[in-house]
Structure 1
């Protein structure tokens, strides 16, 4: 059920595969426009969490921990219902049927009997069209962010793994403790180019609006951190980080939660705050977030139920240390790509805030959708 909590829209996300008989598949097949609701959750807000199936590229099914709803298109628009159940009113209606036990949950019969006030289907489609516009822009920006990250990582691998730095093709290869390296390079360890910050603070003694990052905010396999809370909601002491630091989730490191901080703030002590030395910032960022380094963190973690990465081990990760001109050149490459990604991230936060402002007013009829010009909304949202 983790996919339901991780994604609002289900389409081409990688998932497990199972064998089904024709009868089983006919009973549990997912189609475009289906709604999936979480049957149970350890927290009340998670019970009834809704996701929308969009144009699945292949056969999809669902497990028993979910409830499938297939709206009648003549009476209800699937996208509108998805947005409705994201709104405060929709969440309140869902909470009204959730059982409040050790594990909160809803039943299919209660969901089917749930009464909601909605406009006519034409108005539903218009509202869904407006709200979908924001999500399409947000998703497009996320894809661009991933492309930028992939481009920078490809250059990192060319320079620091394959040693193909432009202009240095004729540099002799010499032996080193790491194996063959271009002349002028040296063998080192990650601790040579970073410092792990141990600074901490009591959240009650700082600005309550200061960004606060929990492990739940750090995205998987995405360098650009795009979500955080505030210090005013925190309790115990937190680690302190600065803009440009790398936040490495040390609990269950196989989740690959490694991101660059776009702001100053505080974070859970379950994240390692890695502060790259200025001269090697780009190399440090892409080394600490590489699949190989994360795999090493996983293999050397301590504990079984909640394995934790150990920096005493990770700091000894062997690295090639290049000449200054290569480090400086890659810093420029990394900062260029990641700054563009950061700009897109802040744009997404603005779009999300605007969408969430409109959402409850649209689904409850506080804003007359017929009075809205979709082209004007589109222009304002990308301005």
Structure 2
């Protein structure tokens, strides 16, 4: 890599660094990483993922570097404004063409000489400039929304940790709050630390999802819980999913917690009666001591997860067993304080939901504009 250093090249790009349907390259590896890549690109070029073109990977770079042989480097020629090229290759017609002309079995690739035959309508330079201005203005809107989303996600992360250590008063001035050491780490000195199984119980005893009493209920597997948010991504019944193995029955009084790979933080608060796979624990808190939503949010914290991970010395697929979960401790403030913490975190989640809806609609509009123009 010495020759690359001499040329001022510091970045390496593989297909894994290009996000589907995103005109921006947001990640790269260091040239220090061992690599056999030798294909060079320049700032402003488009990196198109020619392997598995159906993944729709084509991003513009803002630095010089080298990339994988499974990436085609594109650069605008005379007659096409460079600012327009990212949008020309990020439209459905281009991707469909690339897929149609790909060859290979499990990992189809498209050759550049096939891509070179792709045809599209190209207006005069003056109109190209106007189109580029419109499309980049739309892109700026999207980038601003992404910025706000990232900042709000960071706010959520910080508040999760602060609120379960200091309490609501931390939002005003955490310095004046006295803490104490407990079996769940540092917590507000006014709080108690309770052993998990003293304030919550995990459902035992499975039911048959083929039974008519249960087959019409929504079934949740860990793959249908979004990491770190608690969102359930799909609502289908046990019958629709053809579930045949034993499942746990949960109710509105339960939260559900995936015991597989606990570092993914897959916890959900369904608020309906349903079934969950054997890899998920239905947990019912003692309502006299613990607000269900408070426990839900606490199980999403790094504070809880890092302490739980001390048990995880297994290779392959780490799991949390009942004894390990039951040995954990939960910080327990008053019920009023718990509800206050829940309200703050729920408000942040609601804000994030609104931001993500706006982002989704803006991306859909951008895609529609690109497809209409080209």
Shorter chain as denominator, the TM-score bin is: 0.5 to 0.7
Cα pair 1:193 1:284 within 8 Å, conserved: no
- The alignment status of 1:285 with 2:297, answered yes or no, reads yes
Q: Secondary structure at the match of 2:291?
A: helix
Q: Which residue of 2 aligns with 1:188?
A: 194
What is the Cα deviation at residue 91 of structure 1? 1.9
- 1:19 matches 2:32: yes
| Residues 144-183 of structure 1 mapped to structure 2, 5 A cutoff | 144-161=148-165, 165-166=169-170, 176-178=182-184, 181-183=187-189
Distance 2:208 2:144 in 1: 37
Q: 2:344 aligned with 1:333, yes or no?
A: yes
Q: 1:346 to 1:259 in 2, by over 3 A?
A: farther
Q: Which residue of 2 aligns with 1:63?
A: 68
Could you tell me which residue of structure 2 aligns to residue 28 of structure 1? 40
1:239-271 superposed Cα distances (whole Å, 9 cap, x missing partner): 99999x9897876666x4758789999999699
Match of 2:18, SS state, is: helix
The 5-angstrom pairing of residues 72-87 of structure 1 reads 72=77, 74-78=78-82, 80-87=84-91
May I ask how many residue pairs the two structures share in their alignment? Answer: 338
Provide the rounded CA distance (Å) in 1 between the counterparts of 2:72 and 2:326: 46
Alpha-carbon distance change, 235 to 131 in structure 1, aligned in 2, over 3 angstroms:
farther
For residues 274 and 368 of structure 2, the distance between their equivalents in structure 1, rounded to whole angstroms, comes to: 27
CA, structure 1 residues 325+349, in 2 after alignment: closer, same or farther (shift >3 Å)?
same
- Which whole-Å deviations, capped at 9, do the CAs of 1:33-58 have from their partners, x for residues lacking one? x21122323xx623xx33222534xx
1:350 to 352, 357, 361: 361
**Kept after mapping to 1: 8 A contact 2:47/2:61:** no
Distance 1:262 1:78 in 2: 49
Q: Deviations over 1:274-310 (max 9, x none)?
A: 7796825256325425277169559728552xx2543
Show the counterpart of 2:93: 89
TM-score normalised by L of structure 1: 0.65
Residue 3 (structure 1) aligned with residue 17 (structure 2): yes
1:323-374 per-residue CA deviation (whole Å, 9 max, x = no partner) reads 22321221121112111111112222322333333332222xxxxxxxxxxx
Q: Structure 1 pair 38/251, CA: closer, same or farther in 2 (3 Å)?
A: farther
In the other structure, the counterpart of 2:7 is: none
SS of residue matched to 1:71: coil
> Do the aligned partners of residues 184 and 291 (structure 1) sit closer, same or farther apart at CA in structure 2, a change above 3 Å counting?
closer
In 2, distance between residues paired with 1:272 and 1:332? 26
Partner residue of 1:51 out of 58, 82, 88: 58
**Aligned 8 A contact 1:242 1:265 in 2:** yes
Q: Matched residues in 2 for 1:296 and 1:177: separation?
A: 12
Cα distance change on mapping 1:123 and 1:266 into 2, 3 Å: farther
**Cα distance change, pair 168–53 in 1 and its aligned pair in 2 (3 A):** closer
Q: Distance in 2 between matches of 1:2 and 1:267?
A: 36
Larger-gyration structure (1/2)? 2
Q: Residue 194 and residue 144 in structure 1: after superposition, are their counterparts in 2 closer, same or farther (change >3 A)?
A: farther
105, 108, 121: which one aligns with 1:104 = 108
Q: Gaps (5+ residues) in structure 2? A: 1-14
Q: Unpaired runs of 5+ in structure 1?
A: 364-383
- C-alpha offsets along residues 182-225 of structure 1, whole Å, 9 cap, x if unaligned? 444222356746978999989xx889xx9x99959947x6x486
Structure 1 residue 179: deviation in Å? 6.2
